Amino acid sequence: MRNVVVVGSQWGDEGKGKIVDWLSSQADVVIRFQGGHNAGHTLVIDGITYKLRLLPSGIVRKNKISIIGNGVVIDPWALLDEIKEIKSKGIEVNQKNLIISEAANLILPFHKEMDEIREDSAGKAKIGTTRRGIGPAYEDKVGRRSIRVMDLVSEKNLDHRLETALLHHNVIRKGLGKEIYKKDKLKKELLIIAPEILKYSQPVWKKIDEFKTQDKKILFEGAQGILLDVDHGTYPFVTSSNTVAASAATGSGCGPNTINYVLGITKAYTTRVGEGPFPTELINDIGEQLGTRGKEFGTVTSRKRRCGWFDGVLVRQTIKVSGIDGIALTKLDVLDELDEIKMCIAYELDGKKIDYLPAAVDDQLKVKPIYETFKGWKSSTHGIKKFENLPQNAKVYIQELEKFVQTKISSISTSPERNDAILIENPFEI
């Protein structure tokens, strides 16, 4: 039995959708373990495009079990809309192939409103959130005032939980000059959709234990990237959950010994959405070229991504923080037309050379990248499936990248198409 965790090794948007789809075709169970509908994967199967935000990637494949773990925050209306959308494309969703943790926390309308209020009032200090209520929902979870899936079972309990949550939120809203949020209307709306959510609800930790005894292959599907981790990312310009591989265990309800392999999805250059430090960002024609060729727009928000050179320092750091065993290098073909390609191998901070990204945001904003320059290959790598068929300069770049980040490359993606990849090792078969 092999159980694999997939995480993004940069700021997200590394092309996880294609890799996760390939792995989910081999897995028996696919589990989302953190985040919410602020991150998405785009899958293309048999010419049909599926844009998933909350549903695990396994949902589009027959005979797979998809699980939304306790570490995920769920907007119940967004989830039901997504289920409806995917059913309209001929995908079956039922209690046999979708399980939602009874302990998952809900995102409610007042969370979304609070997200918007804060971003609008933050000015230059804004984080660049997706305004979907993710952060405020996680705050309520940690503050022990959240409404969980299991709270939808009892009207009396739901009433009490909403009262507790709104006691907190309405004080803040009043202080900000906003209308207080009324409980009764929201309670009625939740009770209407409760049966549709609860029919998928189960104790996920128990189901995972059963799957382990049955030797089922489990794929843990991360959202976003390690540099957005609330503890290990570019704080405060981060998401509100732990995006590292260790979160797969706590966000689903299993021990760390359940995980056998951690795969880090790594783009051949670097992108970031939203505000915050980005040492290798290119605000020039090359940055525009990377964005255009790489079609760098968000799956969920359609926001334009900031683009820059590959930051080896950051990826080496996230590999160590998350225990990554191998990386899947994506979007190599986006670099095909460049005369030269640069890789960040160190930083300069206040006149000193350093080999890691410091924790303080002021220092992160000040660091200057030190680059190693490689000759471009100026020929197409699109669709190549064997390493020996790559242009020589592409081989050099890949080999030096692998050596610098100190982790083996398990695959190389050479186009958005699912089968256009150079497979070096299969995480499920090692």
Is 120 one of the annotated active-site residues of the chain?
no
Contact present, 211 and 1 (Cβ < 8 Å): no
Closest C-alpha to 394, from 345, 344, 338: 338
Catalytic residue among 37, 41, 169, 232: 41
Is 13 one of the annotated active-site residues of the chain?
yes
- Residue 185: Cβ within 10 Å count: 10
Contact present, 422 and 385 (Cβ < 8 Å): yes
Tell me the backbone φ, ψ of residue 273, rounded to 5 degrees. -110, 140
CA–chain centroid gap for 354, Å, is 28
Closest C-alpha to 265, from 421, 51, 108, 430: 421
Q: Which residue bears the tokens 């189960």?
A: 202
Could you give the CA distance from residue 66 to residue 98 in angstroms, rounded to a whole number?
A: 5
Could you give the CA distance from residue 4 to residue 2 in angstroms, rounded to a whole number?
A: 6
Type of residue found at 210? E
Could you give the CA distance from residue 398 to residue 409 in angstroms, rounded to a whole number?
A: 9
Could you give the CA distance from residue 145 to residue 139 in angstroms, rounded to a whole number?
A: 9
Residues marked as catalytic: 13, 41
